[in-house]
Amino acid sequence: MSGLLAFRHLKNKGSQRLSLSWFSSSDFSRFLHSLPFATVNAEEVSGSKPAEVLNLVQGKWTRSSSWNTIPDPLNGESFIKVSEVDEKGIQPFVESLSKCPKHGLHNPFKAPERYLMLGDVTTKAAHKLSLPEVSDFFAKLIQRVSPKSYEQALGEVYVTQKFLENFCGDQVRFLARSFAVPGNHLGQQSHGFRWPYGPVAIITPFNFPLEIPVLQLMGALYMGNKPLLKVDSKVCIVMEQMLRLLHDCGLPLEDVDFINSDGKTMNKILLEGKPRMTLFTGSSRVAEKLAVDLKGRIKLEDAGFDWKILGPDVQEEDYVAWVCDQDAYACSGQKCSAQSLLFMHENWGKSSLLNKLTSLAARRKLDDLTVGPVLTFTTNAMLDHMNKLLQIKGSKLIFGGEPLQNHSIPAVYGAIKPTAVFIPLEEILKETNYELVTKEIFGPFQIVTEYKHNQIPLVLDALERMHAHLTAAVVSNDLLFQQEIIGNSVNGTTYAGLRARTTGAPQNHWFGPAGDPRGAGIGTPEAIKLVWSCHREIIYDVGPVPKSWTTPKPT
């Protein structure tokens, strides 16, 4: 099925699902052409009708002299033209950052009305995203650039909308809540305040083109910062349209700069513009380079080789198998929280779990995008990695391991069937194998192993040796087992209990790594305050000076 044809097939299925509301499919077509903020129509973007993405700097949408053409991930057609800034064109962005003072656009002592303004903008934006025609627009646009099932794309819009609902009205200023402590004498008090950094930068990846940049951008704005936002060029059209929606809701155009560029150009902007803090979500390799370049002025939500442990209590096999399939293969495994390594207790090894996983994975098809293009690994790269794993003693292919058939996905991207490889636990722990086994493959690929009850220390050793600690799951209602695993691990977002998962983070809990002082969170008030503000202490000491005071001896 060709790219645009496949997308229209999906569009029709999505519209049928949304027809539970009072909009018909014909209404959707009419509304998509009448959204006041939109400059594109997701249903029409194609090689014959390419969309354009611009930059925003100092309150103006601008074009650069060079354009980067983005291939349609479903058929390879050049379907989006991105106006990319090169190193010669960075000066306006550097100047914009330098114009923002270190004390920010607002803080508890300066322009407090901006807290209220941002609360109002958020209220309007939350309402707009709740409208079926708007949520459908963004879901379809996400599907065009980061192919995933309609349900997964709409889920991303839903989480973003619920996040905005959480920070409507006065909730923005409540993020800047202070505290006071009595001093040593009359007139003295210490007050703790949340203080902005001022000029900041946000760099986000392709896999959640709406949710990650919106949540981090709004958090930066709420705390008083002036952000420069860069989204992966493959998907930047989604955030460009969201910025236009925010402007339509009253966000001043000067509050956010939006840049499209390659990594080298963005690195140069960061070095010359000197943002006070940079939030980076993406690969560990780039994260470590930026940490050095920016002298530690950075927060990271980098890659995660995420694990799930199935405990000794086998129950609800159908449900556990379904969650495992979703965690490993939804969005074609292109989630930083995707299940990468599954530890099965020997009791689960004797169950029907692997048979059920095999059947569930076989249901995934390209025509509904429950499996689809992998945007950071080629087919050959994933299969080569699999073949290296299969050379390990005792390893075997459980299912998958083959390219997808009958598609027009360009060779620059990957396309394989959902894949699982079994490797014995003892082999995983060998020095010669561990680095290979724990290499993150950002695609529909996972490692499965089995452990005996007396091998729990080996499982814990495997966890301790990992370098990224984002999400994890302890699937067990055995409280003592939970306690042992949780007490001897560090992952920042860990789910525990029979229904535990590794993916699907909603807006109501912290999502982020642990074990690293540079770790960034997302979603909650705690995450916003940690990432986008620092602590400032004001000690008031107004007197009076005691009437009996005299100048003391020097000390």
**Span 261-283, pLDDT tens digits:** 999 999 999 999 999 999 999 88
What is the pLDDT, as a whole number, of residue 157?
Answer: 98
Angstrom distance (rounded) from CA 404 to CA 415: 5
Angstrom distance (rounded) from CA 238 to CA 231: 9
pLDDT tens digits, residue range 28-43? Answer: 444 445 799 999 999 9
Question: What is the third-level CATH fold of 59-302+525-534?
Answer: Aldehyde Dehydrogenase; Chain A, domain 1 (3.40.605)
Q: Residue 194's closest CA among 452, 533, 531, 555?
A: 533
Homologous superfamily (CATH) for 306-496: Aldehyde Dehydrogenase; Chain A, domain 2 (3.40.309.10)
CA distances in angstroms from 169 to 120, 213, 526, listed in the order given: 6, 21, 18
Confidence of residue 17 (pLDDT cuts 50, 70, 90): very low
Structure tokens at 365: 């098809």
pLDDT tens digits, residue range 315-342? Answer: 999 999 999 999 999 999 999 999 999 9
Pairing status of strand 493-496 against strand 306-310: unpaired
Confidence of residue 65 (pLDDT cuts 50, 70, 90): confident
List all residues 6 or more positions away from 81 whose beta carbon is below 8 Å from its beta carbon.
Answer: 50, 51, 52, 53, 67, 68, 69, 70
E-only strand ranges, 490-543: 493-496, 534-541
Pairing status of strand 339-345 against strand 306-310: parallel
Catalytic residue positions, numbered: 301, 336
Structure tokens at 129: 């995203």
DSSP-derived secondary structure letter, 342: E
Q: Is the pTM of this model over 0.95?
A: no
Say yes or no: do domains 59-302+525-534 and 306-496 share a fold.
no
Instruction: Indicate the domain borders of the chain.
Output: 59-302+525-534, 306-496
Average pLDDT, the chain: 93
What is the pLDDT, as a whole number, of residue 283?
Answer: 84
pLDDT tens digits, residue range 75-98? Answer: 999 999 999 999 999 999 999 999
